[in-house]
């Protein structure tokens, strides 16, 4: 993309309404625009990151064997009356009437709709196991929408639902989700710690939240610092293997790590004092096992091997897709702006032309741009007629992890500069070396993908 033709409405001043750094930087970098409390438009740069996050989620769902669907945002109240949640859900649910005076609602979650799909189409245990998921907008009329996309009213969620014949099989689905979420967050450059949590309105007696540690987090958490040493890394996983998923679950959940809802002082006190931590965290996902809670009330049954009908065993699993942008920025920024991890960056590399209009500088920039694109990469070329300082500040603000700076002085010796946004360090090299270096940096990032 050439910046002169892009739509990147950056703000010069800090917006007054933003209380935390990620909200401030998303507004300043022209990623989002607030339309009402907790409701945002996604501008091109924000949308690009959102799409990269969605892509990682889709890939890791495919790797775990889960199947994408898309359900409506507007749901019928009758389904929620069947499950018994229509009255319980309270004021967080946005209730709507259609022209025929029928009660509708903007879905805050989709357990009811997916159970309705299941009961209409699945009849036999032979069709199990089955996990369906979607990435779709949700609405929760939060009392206090705040911190930008972090606590929105309209927000994007990945929500998945597993259907299994037995409790053991449903618990394997739970473990499989926990494992696949670990990989999902790591690909986004995040450490998200699974912590024992509370079921809340979704219900269930078995649930973990995934938390990214950050001072601005809304959740209070308690953990054994040894847990932060664990890395999922590049493990080859057979998601069908009950033993493998179980052993990874145990590895990542055996240390003490709990939200305040489940915190227990006596157990916590048994951890050596130098490893005891209380901190704040951002909840970027949650997984639930709730058994037959919805299938029983809504009549979602299958014929088992013995010919008898049984209610199907279920769980649900959520990732806060739009919230993740805020969480990633909270975890990765400095006083100049955002620092995107390579896995989610909106553009792979910025090209800064120090002398726009100079024939040889322009053509060197264009050649680098073309070569990067030919290598399958997505560069942002700052081809505006602006001062170098303004171009650097803009690139630092929007946080591309790499920058290639091209000016007449360097070019006289066939040199450009490659700069890391994270370390601030620069190196001189030929334009073709710079392209090769960028390609080498992104090769493993691209290789971590999975066909969807």
Binding to ligand P5A by CB under 6 A, coded x per residue (else -) over 128-147, reads ------------x-x-----
Q: Which class for 16: exposed (0-12), middle (13-18), buried (19 or more C-beta within 10 A)?
A: exposed
CA 180 and chain centroid, separation: 13
Coil/strand/helix, residue 16: coil
Residue 323 lies near ligand P5A (rule: CB under 6 A):
yes
CB of 137 to ligand P5A, least distance (A): 11
CB of 322 to ligand P5A, least distance (A): 6
Coil/strand/helix, residue 18: coil
- DSSP annotation of 290: E
CB of 314 to ligand P5A, least distance (A): 11
CB of 23 to ligand P5A, least distance (A): 12
Question: DSSP labels for 129-196?
Answer: SEEEEEEEEEE---SS-BTGGGB-SEEEEEEEEEEESSHHHHHHHHHHHHHHHHHHHHHTT--EEEEE
Half-sphere exposure for 405 (CA within 13 Å, toward CB): 21
For residues 90-118, one letter each, b for 16 or more C-beta atoms within 10 angstroms of the residue's C-beta and e for the rest, the string is eeebbeeeeeeeeebbbbbbbbbbbbbbb
Binding to ligand P5A by CB under 6 A, coded x per residue (else -) over 175-214, reads ---------------------------x------------
Residue 46 lies near ligand P5A (rule: CB under 6 A):
no
Q: Which residues, other chains included, contact 451 with Cβ-Cβ below 8 Å and sequence gap of 6+?
A: 59, 62
Using CB under 6 A, which residues numbered 84 to 113 contact ligand P5A? 109
Which is closer to ligand P5A, CB of 61 or CB of 316? Answer: 316
Which is closer to ligand P5A, CB of 152 or CB of 379? Answer: 152
Using CB under 6 A, which residues numbered 15 to 34 contact ligand P5A? none
Which is closer to ligand P5A, CB of 317 or CB of 348? Answer: 317
Binding to ligand P5A by CB under 6 A, coded x per residue (else -) over 302-321, reads --------------xxx-x-
Tokens of residue 417, six digits: 């500069």
Which is closer to ligand P5A, CB of 5 or CB of 144? Answer: 144
Task: Note whether 361 and 411 are within 8 A (CB).
Answer: yes
Task: Tell me the CA end-to-end span of the chain in Å, nearest whole number.
Answer: 26
Count of residues that bind ligand P5A according to CB under 6 A = 20
CB of 103 to ligand P5A, least distance (A): 21
What does the binding site for ligand P5A look like in residue numbers (CB under 6 A)? 109, 140, 142, 151-152, 155, 157, 159, 202, 283-286, 288, 316-318, 320, 322-323
């Amino acid at each position: 993309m050439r910046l002169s033709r892009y739509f990147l409405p950056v703000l010069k001043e800090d917006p007054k309404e933003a209380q935390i750094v990620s909200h401030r930087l998303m507004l300043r970098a022209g990623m989002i625009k607030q339309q009402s409390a907790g409701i945002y438009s996604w501008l091109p740069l924000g949308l690009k990151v959102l799409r990269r996050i969605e892509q990682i989620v889709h890939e890791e769902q495919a790797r775990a064997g889960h199947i994408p669907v898309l359900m409506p945002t507007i749901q019928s109240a009758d389904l929620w009356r069947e499950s018994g949640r229509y009255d319980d859900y309270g004021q967080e649910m946005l209730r709507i009437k259609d022209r025929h005076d029928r009660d509708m609602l903007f879905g805050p979650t989709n357990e009811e709709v997916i159970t309705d799909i299941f009961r209409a189409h699945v009849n036999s245990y032979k069709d199990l196991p089955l996990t369906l998921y979607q990435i779709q907008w949700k609405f929760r009329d939060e009392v206090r929408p705040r911190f930008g996309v972090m606590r929105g009213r309209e927000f994007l969620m990945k929500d998945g639902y597993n259907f299994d014949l037995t409790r053991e099989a449903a618990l394997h689905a739970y473990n499989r989700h926990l494992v696949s979420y670990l990989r999902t967050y790591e690909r986004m450059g995040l450490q998200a710690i699974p912590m024992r949590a509370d079921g809340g309105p979704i219900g269930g007696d078995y649930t973990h939240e995934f938390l990214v540690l950050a001072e601005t987090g809304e959740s209070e958490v308690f953990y054994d610092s040894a847990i932060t040493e664990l890395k999922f890394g590049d493990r080859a996983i057979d998601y069908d293997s009950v033993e493998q998923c179980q052993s990874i679950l145990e590895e990542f959940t055996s240390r003490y790590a709990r939200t305040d809802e489940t915190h227990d002082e006596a157990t916590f006190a048994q951890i050596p004092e130098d490893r005891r931590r209380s901190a704040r965290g951002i909840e970027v996902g949650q997984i639930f096992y709730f058994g037959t809670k919805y299938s029983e009330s809504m009549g979602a049954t299958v014929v088992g091997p013995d010919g008898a009908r049984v209610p199907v065993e279920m769980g649900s699993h959520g990732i806060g897709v739009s919230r993740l942008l805020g969480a990633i920025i909270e975890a990765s920024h400095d006083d100049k702006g955002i620092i995107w991890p390579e896995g989610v960056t909106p553009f792979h590399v910025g090209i800064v032309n120090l002398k726009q209009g100079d024939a040889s500088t322009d053509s060197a920039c264009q050649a680098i741009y073309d070569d990067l694109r030919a290598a399958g990469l997505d560069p942002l070329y700052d081809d505006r007629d602006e001062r170098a300082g303004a171009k650097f500040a803009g690139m630092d603000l929007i946080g591309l992890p790499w920058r290639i700076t091209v000016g007449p002085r360097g070019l006289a010796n066939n040199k450009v500069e490659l700069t890391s946004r994270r370390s601030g360090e620069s190196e001189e090299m030929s334009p073709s070396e710079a392209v090769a270096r960028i390609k080498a940096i992104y090769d493993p990032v691209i290789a971590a993908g999975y066909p969807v």
